[in-house]
Structure 1
Amino acid sequence: MSTSPLFAGLSPQDRDALERRASLRKFAIGETLFAQGETGDELFVITKGRVKVWRASEDGSALTLTLLGRGQPIGTLGAAEDRRNHATATAVTPVEALCWPVEGLRQLMEHNPVLTANVLRTVTNYAEQLIERLEEVASVPVEPRIARTLLRMKRRIYGEAAADGCELPLSRQDLAELTSATLPTVSRIMSRWRGDKLIAGTRGRVKLLDTKALKRIAGLG
Structure 2
Amino acid sequence: MGIGQSFWGMLDEPDRAAMLAAASRRTFAAGSVICHQGDETRNVLVVSRGRVRVSRYSLSGDESLLAVRGRGEIIGEVAAIDGLGRSATLTAVDTVEGVLITAPAFIRLCERHPRIVWALLRVQLARARAAADQQDLRTGPSLQRVGGLLLGLAHRDAGDMIATVPLSQRELAGIAGISRETLVRALKTLREQGIIATHRTRIEILREDELRALCGI
Identity of aligned residues (%): 26
Partner of 2:20: 19
Report the Cα offset of residue 140 of structure 1: 4.0
Shift of 1:8: 4.6
Could you say which residue in structure 2 is the equivalent of 1:54? 55
Q: Mark the CA change 1:6 to 1:64 in structure 2 (over 3 Å): closer, same or farther.
A: same
Deviation at 1:70, TM superposition (A): 1.5
Counterparts of 1:17 and 1:211, CA distance in 2: 36
Report the alpha carbon displacement of residue 169 of structure 1 after superposing the two structures with TM: 1.5
Whether 2:196 is the aligned partner of 1:199: answer yes
Q: Offset of 1:44 from its aligned partner? A: 0.5
Quote the offset at 1:93 in angstroms. 0.9
Return the alpha-carbon distance in structure 2 between the equivalents of residues 181 and 62 of structure 1.
16
Q: 1:167 to 1:57 in 2, by over 3 A?
A: same
What's the CA shift string for 1:82-131, capped at 9, x where partnerless? 12221111011121111000110111111221112223433455555566
Say whether 1:168 aligns with 2:163: yes
Structure 2 equivalent of residue 186 of structure 1: 183
Q: CA deviation at 1:167?
A: 1.7
| Distance in 2 (alpha carbons) for counterparts of 1:93 and 1:7 | 20
User: Would the aligned equivalents of 2:165 and 2:203 in 1 still touch at CA under 8 Å?
Assistant: yes
Unaligned runs of at least 5 residues, structure 1: 160-164
Letter in 2 for 1:33: I
Query: Which amino acid letter does the alignment assign opposite residue 168 of structure 1?
Result: A
| 1:164-198 residue CA offsets vs partner (Å, 9 max, x unmatched) | x9422225616446535555543332123222334
Q: 1:71 to 1:8 in 2, by over 3 A?
A: closer
Show structure 2 runs of 5+ residues with no match.
Answer: none
Deviation larger for 144-153 or 13-22: 144-153
- Mapping 1:146-161, distance limit 5 Å: 146-153=146-153, 157=156
1:9 is displaced (CA, Å) by 4.8
Question: What is the distance in 2 between the residues matched to 1:209 and 1:169?
Answer: 12
CA contact 1:47–1:95 (8 Å) conserved in 2? yes
Check the 8 A contact 2:50/2:95 in 1, yes or no. yes
Shift of 1:26: 1.3
3-state SS of paired residue (1:188): helix
Q: How far apart in 2 are the matches of 1:215 and 1:33?
A: 32
- Pairwise CA distance, 1:49: 1.4
TM-score (norm 2): 0.78
| Change over 3 Å in CA distance of 1:42–1:189 after alignment to 2 | same
User: Across the two proteins, how many residue pairs are aligned to each other?
Assistant: 211
State the secondary structure of the residue aligned to 2:165: coil
Q: Is the 8 A contact 1:34 1:75 kept in 2?
A: no
- Residue 206 (structure 2) aligns with: 208
After superposition, where does 1:104-183 map in structure 2 within 5 Å?
Answer: 104-126=105-127, 137=138, 139-153=139-153, 157=156, 166-171=161-166, 173=168, 175-176=172-173, 178-181=175-178, 183=180
Deviations 1:32-91 (A, max 9, x none): 112211235111111121111111123321111111221111111123221222111101
Counterpart contact for 2:22–2:101, Cα < 8 Å? yes
User: CA 1:28 to 1:168, structure 2 compared with 1: closer, same or farther past 3 Å?
Assistant: same
- Partner AA of 1:88 in structure 2: T
